[in-house]
């Protein structure tokens, strides 16, 4: 008769959540701030930063076998707490028990970050554009460049989970990896905290435009005339008409000025005193 000691009795998702909530309540009473990952709909990430993080994970064969289970876990709310710090991700994942997951991620090296800033310099106009992922395709490709961009390679990530699974990346770790992408949807600045770099260094500086800034701006970043009208509350057509009218009146003003000078020359009118700023 065979005994399968490695198999454990099935625990439903509802029962796992109840156990997790009891443990979370204990930790909350002790003063621990809890930040669960909540996924709405099927898509784990929807913004440039969140999607790019997830796509970066999926292109490495090291993670291919374990990621599908992780997606299921993160979608059903199993990542009950996720904290992101410089070089470190700490999480609690609900399984048969509440497991502690730790991801240690190397900081972007100085030369690598400098190269990214040089290549992207002058192409990102504001912090808002950066965090919203509103920049040219060239900048996107540079930031996501495999092994040389802002997203980490497997060799730069150290994984750890308190569960008994012997695999380097268990389903709990995979769930946390996807949870990080979902969190970047809400707080993209955390990617820069995680990689220990300052996102403000990517913002354009006057007179320092570099290679990628020479590309034509994305269509979504160029304001049309009607957009300007809405922004400043002006009727651009009326403004143009008014300008043309004022332009037509200028020749008459010049004629009048010449007439005044002619009268002054003939002595018909005394010259007015001019007020000069001392």
Q: In what order do the strands lie in the sheet with 79-85?
A: 79-85, 88-94, 98-105, 157-161
Give the DSSP letter of residue 156: G
Q: Are 173 and 99 in contact (CB under 8 A)?
A: no
Measured CA to CA, the distance from residue 155 to residue 246 in angstroms comes to 68
DSSP states along 57-85: HHT-GGGTTTHHHHHHHHHTT-EEEEEEE
- Kindly report, residue by residue over 36-74, the tens digit of the pLDDT: 999 988 899 999 999 999 999 998 877 778 899 899 999
- Name the nearest CA neighbour of 44 among 181, 214, 161: 181
Please write the tens of the pLDDT for every residue from 72-123: 999 989 999 999 999 999 999 998 889 999 999 999 999 999 999 999 877 8
Tokens of 206: 């006057």
Domain ranges of the chain: 13-226
pTM for the structure as a whole: 0.69
Contact 182, 39 (CB under 8 A): yes
């Amino acid at each position: 008769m065979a005994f399968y000691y490695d198999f454990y009795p099935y625990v439903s998702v509802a029962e796992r959540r109840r156990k997790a909530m009891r443990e979370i309540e204990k930790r909350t009473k002790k003063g621990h701030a809890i930040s669960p990952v909540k996924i709405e709909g099927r898509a784990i990430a929807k913004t440039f930063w969140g999607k790019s993080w997830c796509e970066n994970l999926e292109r490495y064969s090291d993670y291919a076998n374990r990621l599908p289970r992780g997606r299921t876990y993160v979608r059903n709310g199993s990542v009950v707490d996720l904290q992101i710090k410089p070089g470190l991700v700490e999480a609690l994942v609900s399984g048969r028990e509440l497991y502690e997951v730790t991801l240690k991620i190397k900081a972007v090296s100085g030369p690598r970050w400098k190269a990214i800033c040089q290549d992207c310099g002058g192409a990102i106009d504001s912090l808002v554009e950066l965090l919203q992922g509103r920049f040219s395709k060239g900048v996107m490709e540079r930031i996501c460049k495999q092994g040389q961009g802002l997203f980490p390679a497997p060799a730069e990530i150290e994984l750890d989970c308190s569960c008994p699974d012997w695999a380097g990346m268990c389903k709990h770790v995979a769930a946390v990896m996807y949870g990080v992408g979902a969190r970047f949807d809400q707080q993209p600045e955390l990617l820069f905290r995680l990689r220990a770099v300052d996102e403000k260094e990517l913002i354009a500086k006057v007179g320092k435009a570099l290679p990628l800034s020479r590309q034509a701006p994305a269509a979504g970043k160029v304001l049309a005339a009607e957009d300007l009208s809405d922004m400043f509350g002006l009727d651009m057509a009326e403004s143009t008409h008014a300008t043309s009218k004022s332009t037509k009146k200028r020749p008459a003003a010049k004629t009048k000025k010449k007439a005044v000078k002619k009268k002054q020359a003939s002595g018909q009118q005394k010259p007015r005193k001019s007020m000069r700023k001392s």
